[in-house]
Amino acid sequence: MSTARITIDRDFTIAEVPRRLFGSFVEHMGRCVYTGIFEPGHPQADSRGFRRDVLELVRELGPTVVRYPGGNFVSGYLWEDGVGPVEKRPRRLDGAWHTVETNAFGLHEFVDWAREADVEIMEAVNLGTRGVEEARALVEYANHPGGTYWSDLRRKNGAEDPFDIKLWCLGNELDGPWQIGGKTAQEYGRLAQETAKAMRFVDPSIELVAVGSSNRQMPTFGTWEHTVLSHAYDEVDYVSMHAYYQEHDGDAASFLAEAVDMDAFIDGVIATIDAVKAAGKHTKQVNISFDEWNVWYQSGLDTEDQPHVITAAGQWREHPRLIEDTYNVTDAVVVGTFLNSLLRHGDRVKIANQAQLVNVIAPIRSEEGGPAWRQSIFWPFARVAQLARGRVLRLAIDSSPVSTKRYGDVDAIDAAATWDEENGTIALFLANRSLEEAGDLTVDLHGLGAASVRSAEVLTVPEGGDRKAANVVDDQDRVGLVPLRDVDIVEGAVRATLPPLSWAVVVLEVARA
């Protein structure tokens, strides 16, 4: 059995928990929108075509902010196509995912859906094939009260009141050669700067996210962020990060340690931001929007569900199945460690969006005309979004190591915690990366009075299953949270045993010392 000791002190904290950290992402890709959140004619659809069964799961999942409409899709998108009478909207070819976009679902529909789901909107503008004027016009359409061309067109289209969208992305992954209208860092930096200025001339209250490198492996990573921010530092509030991970060649140990890479990635972007701040003698602080992250099996699945295979086949279809990954126990534990990494960086990562919400590399799956259900990765996200309140605690962790090929020795127990002083609770988010050994955990509580266990849940390999057990349409509840029995308070400390390959959440009621 491995061992770990975590020390908590109520006075050692990182930051207030950023509520936007628990974001998600809806892109016009595959079946995320069509037959995902929107399916007129479905038995569970409301009068607007929103799937009520999916909405119920979204509310249970608890995302706070949802990024829309892309993603790669936005770099060729004409937002005007998605407003006005549906029967008059044009059908377009979407080059990003090689599909036919019907435009039956657009900005007004998304705003209505977001209100039903009780999420903040994070709107992306097209800086691939379009630019300053189109972005400025979209802000006027969405946020200006009335009396101008674009705001009056919104009112004519049925929305008397402004949408009041505060959070905007200045394009998507524009350093990527796969991106429609890709840019060099110099080109994008100047475009982002001027677009940001024009958008703020319309609505000074908005917040803006500049595009960072598409991933840490990009040859221009670091220099891209530095160049872009050298132009646009004073005009933006955040720079974006994107990262996807998967298990390679059965190397589960390295996969379970991928949060080590996420930690280093975040630290590198922070260093670059702060170097630009110092060199430019800026006074404001630019932070991070980690607006795409998840497990995504990008290799080894050359099926018709993969975008590159569909493109090669020359097929143009409406909402085909694209990257509908089925997530297992191992994936859920990894996602739990990613959430821990984001919490540990809550002083600088202020927004994060798990990609995507439904069907496409998603915590929620649905079938056209059929049911919707929770994937394994649903559970860590839902519990962290629900329970991470107050301040993020700065933990001291002493853990037995796990050996990995990619990252060397890493802590067997990965952890994050939050302290909600108002409600007198501590939430512990714990992952045991060991595939074979249970973890004997002790948590020392300093600066706090008597503690008791309010609740304790764990996600691990189901009885009679293996680490690749998953929830599928015919067995939707195989993987989920069950009570964690081996947890107690012993001489003022928390003592718990974490099963091998598990993610757990323990909520403590504590009295201030």
**Active-site amino acid positions:** 173, 292
Q: Is 159 helix (H, G, I), strand (E, B) or coil?
A: coil
Reading the block at residue 470, the tokens are 């998953």
Amino acid identity of 138?
L
DSSP annotation of 377 reads: T
DSSP string of 50-103, one letter each residue: BBHHHHHHHHHH--SEEEES-SGGGGG--GGGGSS-GGGPPPEEETTTTEEE--
In whole angstroms, how far apart are CA 209 and each of 189, 192, 229, 467?
Answer: 12, 9, 11, 38
Whose tokens are 């702060």? That residue is 274
Bridge partners, 295 (sequence order): 245
For residue 319, the Cα-to-chain-centroid distance in whole angstroms is 22
> Which of 216, 253, 244 is CA-nearest to residue 408?
253
CB-CB contact of 392 with 13 (8 Å):
yes
> Which of 471, 451, 469 is CA-nearest to residue 460?
469
In whole angstroms, how far apart are CA 235 and each of 40, 196, 281, 491?
Answer: 41, 6, 14, 53
